[in-house]
Structure 1
Amino acid sequence: MNKRIFSLLLILVLTVSVFAGCSQKPAENNEPKEPSNPPAAENQEPAAEKVDAVEVKKVFVSPQWVKSVIDGQQKESSDYIILEASWGTANESPDYNTGHIPGAVHADISSIEGEPYWNIKTSEEVEKAMLDLGITKDKVVILYGADVSGTARVAYAYLWAGVENVKILDGGLNSWTKEGYELETAANNPKAAAEFGAKVPVHPEYWTSIEDAAKRLNEDENFRLVSIRSYVEFNGETSGYTYIDKAGEPKGAVWGKAGSDPYHMEDYTH
């Protein structure tokens, strides 16, 4: 064969081989690849939000903190009770039967205060009311209710009696439901306690009599008797209550504001 023709044929073969090599696809890897960002599993619950602990002496707490107690995330989770505080029985409560915080027990406000002026009851009566609810000095008590002033009076009575850790849900049931937390309607019955664990009241200094207040007003220039009633009650225009005839304040009292009537505290809430 003519060398020239052979050379041309060789060049042609090499050229075809090069193009064939360039066009050949690399071997495919049939092994499945893991996605760099795997999709979240369906119906996966979000991770529980970490909620900081609160001091024992801090009374008003957030719904997130209460939920964390229920979920076992706080030291208080080992021994606590949640109380829906309102006047009368559970059936008379504005909220309890229609929906309450899971595990909550109804507490009758009249168990710690009585007629005619709704002052705190005797130490024996308050102690019995607490024991009936299973409350001891070491049990953590978390309160909420439609009437914040009534709820606060129950908290005060328990602190006066000697419960060491009393909390109030800031914002009441509304703050709980706004966070999307669930409610239940089944009634919860408390297990009574046999002993409170201390002589009631542990803190008699939390209460003062009219006579003691009058004496200190006259003798102690650093003492202040502060009225947290409405202004029309403070200046004597009305007693504020249908069952109280007398109006006015003890001589020497100063006005500390609070709300527009005995049942509101808008000067201190939002």
Structure 2
Amino acid sequence: MFENIKVSKYLSYLFLIIVSAIWVIPVLYGITTSFRSQTEVVSSGFRLLPVNWIVDNYVAILENTSTAPILQWIWNSIFIATTHTLLVVIVIAITGYGYTRMNFKGRDVLFFTLLAISFFPNVVNIIPSYMIIDILGWVNTPWAMIVPGVAGMANIFLVRQFMKGIPKELDESARVDGASDFRIFISIIVPLIKPILIVCGLFSFVGSWNDFLWPVIVYTDVQKMPVTAGLLLLQDVYGNYRMIGQLMGSAILAIIPTLLLFFFAQKYFVQAIKLNAGLKG
């Protein structure tokens, strides 16, 4: 029996190592390719480590501030993702409170109707969303990415489910002491729902940062693009096997902010996965 357990354990480890290698090796190859010369990229074939390590690709990337301003794109994405995340946290906290703590006619019907509509594919909304953005004059502005998706029903659903687990006796006790709905929300509810707000905030930031299709549609000004739309543009600037090292270097620079976010908020990501699993289960 114990031998079977050990075999299963070793097979599990082997499987995890293989899966990790499948994911890690291409990333490592991309990183090392950014330190290769174009001649080596074309002539050496697959080699995990460069023969000669160079930083010329990164120098060229940082010096190109006209056709491929990578640092400006990264800053644009940081501003957009951070602002979007802050608005998401505020909106879903207030909305979740309204759907769980406030009684009004048609509350549950409205919630489940909006939840059902949210299951439609996002591509269905692209044309009407763009028309709205164009009417508001938000094309080529950060608001084109900040505002859409702020009231995402998936996040509201998570907050609502989490908030339903908070005893309403806390609200009633606070009201007996003369607290208003606003005071109850700020002083009691918000501190208690902090874990789920962190979950939604982290995934909202990563989702906004990685969004690709929408920014490609609403941005045409090179200087105002977020990094995902900029990377698509780089395929014309550095692609077609002309400057593969610079293309890979740009991609590596683009993922640094999210890697830093993961390292500094790693425990919250783990809590987010556990919390998501608990709420769905």
- TM-score by length of structure 2 reads 0.24
TM-score by length of structure 1 reads: 0.25
More helix by share: 2
Which protein is bigger by CA-based radius of gyration? 1
Compare relative contact order (CA 8 Å, sep 6+) and give the higher one, 1 or 2: 2
